[in-house]
Amino acid sequence: MTNKELADLLLPGVSSDIEYYEKKYPERNLDKNAIVTRFAPSPTGFVHMGSLLTAFIERKAAKDSNGIFYLRIEDTDQKRKVENGIEGIIDDLKNFEIEIDEGAISETEEVGQYGPYVQSKRKEIYQTYVKYLIEQGLAYPCFCSHEEIEQTRQIQEKRKQRIGYYGRFAKCRRLTMDEIAQKVKNGEPYIIRFKSPGSFDNKIKIHDLIRGDIEFPENDIDDVIMKSDGLPTYHFAHVIDDHLMHTTHVIRGDEWVSSLPKHIQMFKLMGFEPPKYAHISPIMKEEDGKKRKLSKRKDPEAAVSFYHEKGIPVEAVKLYLMTLANTNFEQWYDCNKDKTIDDFKFDFKKVSASGGLFDVTKLYNISKNYISYLKAEDVYNMALTWACEYDKQFAQVLENNKEFAINLFNIEREQKKPRKDYSCFSDIKNQIWYMFDEFYKDVDNYEFQLINDKEEINKILKLYMDKYYSNSDDKDAWFNKIKELSGELGYAKEVKEYKNNPDMYKGHVGDVSTVLRVALTSKSTTPDLYEIMKLLGKDKIFDRYNKFMKN
């Protein structure tokens, strides 16, 4: 039996005409330096922060070079597939504005000339190449059972030998054509393995864009390329897809660096040009003083949807991702406040090779800064968008009080050093609820400080309303009135004066304004009281004060 006949026996009805596909997917017509790269997740659940970072880097590298960024779904493991997994990935990318040029756009649709972009739909392509390899004598069927493989493994472990299907452990490699024919005839299940030409004693150097040259022993393991269900393994699918889709740069997680020798070997043996590689370190999390990989299972912040739910602006997440991607970005951005991420040039050499801890605090800080420089109207719109999805009641209140809310968000905003108090949109309600009667009506806990005697408080409020309140005062006049009020009741008009002679006064102007603040909002900490009073207006102020005094 010839190799050709063997191939027909193993893959009847499958073509081995690889030229067909080579012609079908021609070179891309792009600039010489254009980067063609891809995000290639498995649809096994939500998108992990580390994956999002990788996707972000891929998108950025492609954009910077006028290249192509595409989405390829790696669903060759049917067991791990998750319902609506593809939609989930697409939604997450959309939520963070990582746009794809080609690839899956829904569970069933896709765009681009190099598809299908879902691996399970590429079965025929892989099988054509597998058949071709068998014909060339570069691949062979393996009939070993899981048990046999496990046995070999145990023997290897006991003897402290390298583990794997190689050399004399590669039993099926030595099967004669007759033996194979007999086994196939008997209906024994088989998989297809790649016939590795490598030797473990040979050293090879592989260049990684982030890590530089890495030295490995050559691969000598006969890896599985086609599983018993007829689908390829990751390694084989990677080689075929990235060749056919003309990927120039493979950017992926660093769990793949150890597979580099086998990937390069396969590319070379198939006669394909291997792509450039860049391996990204994982994002870590600290637990009990130890670093570990940020985990989908244990860490809610690992899920990309977490940030969407929190209401962290997309732009802020991107800013943080960019600081993770390129260590020099933060400083660049600091010096170029008026520029955007698009103006920054991504550099593979500036990607950290060590896995850093994921710093949620820093993300919140970036977010806080970002929100502080937005226009009040933008804050309103973004907060409303967030609330419509995650807090319907708050959304309703915002909608009913649009002008008011915008004015509220405008307090100490749009100035050189804006107020920075919202780190995300889910944070806002907690800080401003008291400004809305809808939320304020059931208040019963007032955070009074030094002055907390009901009678004294009532005295201050009454005098303020009777004698000092005016809705036409500017800020200085307003504050001067509070000083007068303080003086009249035996409080120091200036804090300094009080500090110099604490025995002469009951307290100082700050204590009095605290009373005015707490009786109005129930809270001891609020933005500028003058601004708040101006916004609430006389009726509401008097109403709240009178209600307070009656209780």
Partner RNA sequence: GGCCUGUUGGUGAAGUGGUUUAACACAUCGCCCUCUCAAGGCGACAUUCACGGGUCCGAAUCCCGUACAGGCUACCA
Of residues 132 through 161, those in contact with RNA by CB under 7 A are: 144-146, 149, 153, 157, 160
Cα–Cα distance, 548 to 551 (Å, whole number): 5
- Rounded least distance, CB 420 to RNA, Å: 4
Q: Is 40 in the site for RNA (CB under 7 A)?
A: yes
For the window 314-343, what string marks contact with RNA as x by the rule CB under 7 A?
---------xx--xx-xx--x---------
- Rounded least distance, CB 266 to RNA, Å: 14
Q: Is 214 in the site for RNA (CB under 7 A)?
A: yes
Q: Is 290 in the site for RNA (CB under 7 A)?
A: yes
Residues 6+ apart with CB under 8 A from 503: none
Residues 6+ apart with CB under 8 A from 246: 25, 27, 28, 36, 114
Residues 6+ apart with CB under 8 A from 31: 65, 66, 67
Of residues 351 through 380, those in contact with RNA by CB under 7 A are: 352-357, 359, 361-362, 365, 368
Q: Does the CA dihedral 428-432-434-440 come out positive or negative?
A: negative
Q: Which stretch binds RNA (CB under 7 A): 239-247, 299-307, 464-472, 520-528?
A: 520-528
Q: Is 487 in the site for RNA (CB under 7 A)?
A: no
Indicate the DSSP class of residue 215: E
Q: Is 255 in the site for RNA (CB under 7 A)?
A: yes
Of residues 222 through 251, those in contact with RNA by CB under 7 A are: 224, 227-229, 231, 233-234
Pick from 5, 15, 19, 189 the residue near RNA by CB under 7 A.
Answer: 189
Q: Which stretch binds RNA (CB under 7 A): 24-32, 132-140, 172-180, 523-531?
A: 523-531
Pick from 319, 374, 509, 536 the residue near RNA by CB under 7 A.
Answer: 509
Q: Which stretch binds RNA (CB under 7 A): 9-17, 22-30, 397-405, 507-515?
A: 507-515
Q: Is 209 in the site for RNA (CB under 7 A)?
A: no
Closest to RNA by CB, 300 or 356: 356
Closest to RNA by CB, 15 or 331: 331
Pick from 95, 259, 305, 410 the residue near RNA by CB under 7 A.
Answer: 259
Cα–Cα distance, 499 to 480 (Å, whole number): 19
Question: Residue 85: which of 120, 37, 117, 44 has the closest Cα?
Answer: 44
- Rounded least distance, CB 342 to RNA, Å: 21
Report the DSSP beta bridge partners of residue 508. 492
Q: Is 441 in the site for RNA (CB under 7 A)?
A: no
Q: Is 350 in the site for RNA (CB under 7 A)?
A: yes
Of residues 68 through 127, those in contact with RNA by CB under 7 A are: 74, 76-77, 80
For the window 391-410, what string marks contact with RNA as x by the rule CB under 7 A?
--------------------
Does the N-terminal peptide bond of residue 116 adopt cis geometry, omega within 30 degrees of 0?
A: yes
Q: Dihedral of the CA atoms 80, 84, 89, 92 (nearest 10)?
A: -130
Report the DSSP beta bridge partners of residue 139. 194
Long-range contacts of 299-302 (CB under 8 A, 24+ apart): 301/49, 301/358, 301/360, 302/48, 302/49, 302/50
Residues 6+ apart with CB under 8 A from 333: 319, 322, 323, 339, 344
Cα–Cα distance, 413 to 60 (Å, whole number): 32
